[in-house]
Chains A and B, each alone.
Chain A
Amino acid sequence: MTLPSRLWSWLRATFRRSRMENEMDSELRFHLDAYVEDLVRSGLSREEARRRARIEFGAIDGAKEDCRNERGVRFFDTLGQDLRYALRMMRRTPAFSIIAILTLAIGIGANTGIFSVVHAVLLKPLPYPESNRLAIVFSAWGNETRGPASGPETVELQRRSRLFEEIAGIWVTTGTIVGSGEPEQIRLGQVTTNFLSLLAYEPQLGQFFSSENRHSGAQPEIVISDGLWRRQYGAEPSVIGKTVRMGAASVTVVGVMPREFRLLLPRDSNVAPDIDVFTPFPGDLAKAAPGTGYIRTIGRLRPGVSIIQAQTELDEIATQLRAGYKEFASQNLRLRVFPLQAEDVRNVRQSLLALFGGVGLVLLIACVNVANLLLSRSSVRSREITVRTALGASGGRIVRQMLTESILLSMAGGILAMAIGWGALQWLLSLRPDGIARIGAIGLDFSAFAFTAVVSILAGVLFGLAPALKAAKLNVAEALKEGDRSPAGRKTNSRSLLIVSEVALGFVLLVASGLMIRTFTSLLRVDAGFRDENALTFQLSIPGALLHPPDRADKFLHELRTKLNALPGVESVGVVSHLPLDGSAANWYSYFWRDDAPPQEKNTVMADYRSISPGYFRSVGATLIGGRDFTEFDDVAHPHAAIVDDDLAKQTWPNQNPIGKKLAVEDSPGGPFWFTEDTVEVVGVVRHVQYHSLTTSIRSQIYLPYALAPRPLVSFVVRSAMPPESLVGLIRHEVANLNKAIPVSRVAPLGDYVRNARSDSRFVTMLAAMLASIALLLATIGIYGVTSYSALQHTSQIGVRMALGAQPCDVLRMVLWQGMAPVFVGLVVGLGLALASTPLLSNMLYGVRPADFLSIGVSLVVLVTAGTAACYVPARRAMRVDPIIALRYE
């Protein structure tokens, strides 16, 4: 096997270069002398012998070169030569080098920053065991396509599925836990016993739940998060086995989740990433109400099972369920399964890819700029190159030399780009876009480094290839001639082409960012149905003790409201089960129908149900457009009342007055989540309040008095004349006075939820605007560079014209026109590109069409202005040229 010896020989040749050279010299000299001696011995004179030897050995230097080649070091030799030369060239023209490196650094750096986000969010697998086999199952009925499952559904899925290795479920609610300090409101995840082992290899401490049946008398077990462990239990290992109070019950801590564990489910499943406590579902899921869906189901498929196969199996199971349960039949239950990773990033994928495209465009523009710079410089270096060619350099050798220079430039840019990329990433993260759940995991890691290196090399080849090829093709005889009187026609053409492409790409970016800005401003102006200024919100988790008997919680809330209303400056206080634009509480939605509806109309339309106190609408700033608000008398004992929104009124009783009409609804006067059918009378109509997002409205809304539907988790809205923050301390005081065990959590101005709902759009808009600005800057610099260079080239021409009688303003016009001509062509091309590509963004737009006149018009004006300004300076310089000097210039 010759490979080891080849490697050894290559290593020796590379690292002991000079010694090898000396040895080769002495060896060949020995040979030469021996040959001479032989020739002398055969009768020649010493001189003659030497001459003969020299001639015969004439190829010795060539032989040396061949010898070196045999050692396999030629590639590195010439590479070293090229690199040293490139470095010298860079040092000789520092201004050029700095501009080129900076331009590239910005272009590459922006790409590195976005790539890190794309990699962490879209490309990296979910941090769960065998995450590529994880899938999420949605239940579909009526208009709902991504709903949660009910208890019996989950159990049946576990029993009947063959293709799923494991199926698990979670329902997120809240609770209160008492640790070493204040009682803390926690997010509680009730789970099937296999849920945790599905998503984590092992706990940090202790163990997960075992799947054997627990004795009904045993204390419930909990597994706590790392965060809770540190906050409440001082990270003591002794927490395992400890009994703690959670709400009204005592529970045993059996395990602590790993530190980095986060629950990454799709955003619309309302499962927050940070759950503080996990506990198994109390009771038997199979005995729960089949029609009440609340469990989010995920599962791991068996190896080799595809999603399509899984979907087919689920369709069968759904058919079996519809046959077996009348509730499922009447709902027309269907099951849908999707890969978990794809579902997680559904919302954010498009924006990220669009941004990635945007930075790609910026990089292209940067490359175009540098290519332009290189082209200008290569015509200056034409003399040097032709000398090299005359001395024997092959075209390929010259191309390699120039490519080495450009790659060196781009790698220098790449190194700077890592710094810029890091800065860009910090700025991106500070915008805290809501949609990127895994944002904690984003940083510059090895993949970013590798990406930067690859992009740098590719960029170097991209912008260096054209100038290099052009340089190598120079006609030797022509270029060596004195006086470059050629009007530089051909070279200008390729430079103009580059300007055209720069302007076109920049135009696309400008239009895209204009669309994003308009989307964002539309979002700012959208009417969400409530007023978010001067309102403070907070959440309370009502302990189980207060929820029995059913009306106790209502009395408690009434008392608290009265106390809070008495605080100075408070205008009104209200309670609601689900705050608008707050995704933290699992939504409550179900069917409703007119009281006198025929059977086929029942169970067809759904609404969002809300449980509220009197005063809620006033506090949140919603508009009552008919009837009245609830009063203290709207409780279980009196005729059951409801308030609907205008959407529901229009849908259900078109052109009629909804007040006084009766509705069949679902409520739970017997206790939280004990849902029953009920008939209510509509006593008021309110304008629709945006709940899911600022722009989309999924269902209409039904408001019920809290007494009819008590729930443990409620949000308070306090409207005051004073800045809301000043009330926080007083509020905590009042709550503690009434009940020390209830923590006040999620204290935030109502406006925060609105701002959060806009955060995605704000993120994309700021990014797009930044990219467009960079593109505009680069394009302007490019236009300026090319115009001033070509004006310089044409100086003699200008001199001739002026000598022949042209006025300075004629010269101005000529230079301006020459500079702007490619810009106009670029604008036309850009317009076409923009019209073709912006429809791809239509999912991200709101309130503006993809072919928006305003955005296009403004971008046009901006580019023309920038281009004119860029051409103006060189034009003015050309104007002031003295014809005599110009004519003498060569």
Chain B
Amino acid sequence: MEKQIDLLQGTLEMLILKAVSLGALHGYGVLLRIQQISGGKLAIQQGSLYPALYRLEHRGWITSEWGESENKRKAKFYRLTSAGKRRFQAEAEKWNRMTGVVAGILDATPEEI
């Protein structure tokens, strides 16, 4: 159980960074956008969203400021920082490489070994 959460934690952070890179969002908006981009196939556990957001802010990859939401209520908006952009690119690259390797392994046929 632990390992799965770890993996998801790393992936979740990457997804949040991507979501925020498309424009400043408040927490709930991040949730919606991820759902939206994934075509409704990925639903984030609400309890793990905010710890992830706070962790990203602590590390300096996103930054926050208070603003007004669509329905004129005060909400905290998150934006990607330049360090966050670099981090996202690095993480995305790592992810792609890893999935490529894993895909290669999974595709191996008996003759190739």
Contact = CB atoms under 8 A, between A and B. Distances in A.
Contacts of A6: 58-60
Interface in A1-52: 1-2, 4-6, 9-10, 23, 26-28, 30-31, 33-35
B41 interface: no
B28 A66 contact: no
14 contacts: A1-B83, A5-B83, A6-B59, A6-B60, A23-B76, A30-B26, A30-B27, A30-B73, A30-B74, A30-B75, A56-B46, A63-B51, A67-B51, A71-B58
A60 interface: yes
A483 interface: no
A205 to B, nearest CB: 58
B58 A5 contact: yes
B110 interface: no
Contacts of B59: 2, 5-6
Nearest to A58: B47
A57 interface: yes
Instruction: Please list the 3 inter-chain residue pairs (A to B) with the smallest Cβ-Cβ separation, ordered nearest first.
Output: A5-B60, A59-B47, A66-B51
A384 interface: no
A63 B50 contact: yes
Contact of B27 (A5, A10, A31): A31
Interface string A646-682: 0000000000000000000000000000000000000
A652 to B, nearest CB: 90
A801 B26 CA distance: 76
Interface of B: 26-28, 46-48, 50-51, 54-55, 57-61, 66, 69, 73-76, 83
A30 B58 contact: no
A46 to B, nearest CB: 16
B28 A31 contact: yes
B54 A70 contact: yes
A50 B99 CA distance: 40
Interface in A50-95: 56-60, 62-63, 66-67, 69-72
B42 to A, nearest CB: 16
Given A23-B76, A67-B50, A71-B58, 7 more contacts: A2-B59, A2-B61, A4-B60, A5-B60, A6-B59, A27-B76, A31-B50
A31 B54 CA distance: 15
Contacts of A30: 26-28, 69, 73-76
B28 to A, nearest CB: 4
A57 B59 CA distance: 25
Contacts of A72: 58
Nearest to B63: A5
Given A26-B74, A30-B75, A70 B47 contact: no
- Which of A23, A27, A60, A72 has its CB near the most chain B CB atoms (within 10 A)? A27
A10 B55 CA distance: 11
Contact of A34 (B28, B51, B66): B28
Interface of A: 1-2, 4-6, 9-10, 23, 26-28, 30-31, 33-35, 56-60, 62-63, 66-67, 69-72
A28 B48 CA distance: 12
B47 A60 contact: yes
A293 B102 CA distance: 87
Contacts of B73: 30, 33
A34 to B, nearest CB: 4
Contacts of A58: 47
B78 to A, nearest CB: 10
Contact of B51 (A9, A35, A70): A70
Interface centre among A9, A28, A31, A69 (most CB of B within 10 A): A31
B70 to A, nearest CB: 10
A1 B86 CA distance: 11
A26 to B, nearest CB: 7
A9 B58 contact: yes
Contacts of A4: 60
Contact of B83 (A2, A23, A28, A63): A2
A5 B87 CA distance: 14
Given A27-B75, A31-B27, A34-B28, A63 B47 contact: yes
Contacts of B57: 9
A553 to B, nearest CB: 88
Contacts of B74: 26, 30
A57 B69 contact: no
Contacts of B55: 70
Nearest to B70: A34
Contacts of A27: 26-27, 50, 75-76
B77 to A, nearest CB: 10
Contacts of A23: 66, 76
B16 to A, nearest CB: 13
Nearest to A61: B47
A71 B28 CA distance: 21
Nearest to B48: A63
A30 B26 CA distance: 9
Nearest to B29: A34
Contacts of A34: 28, 69
A9 B54 CA distance: 10
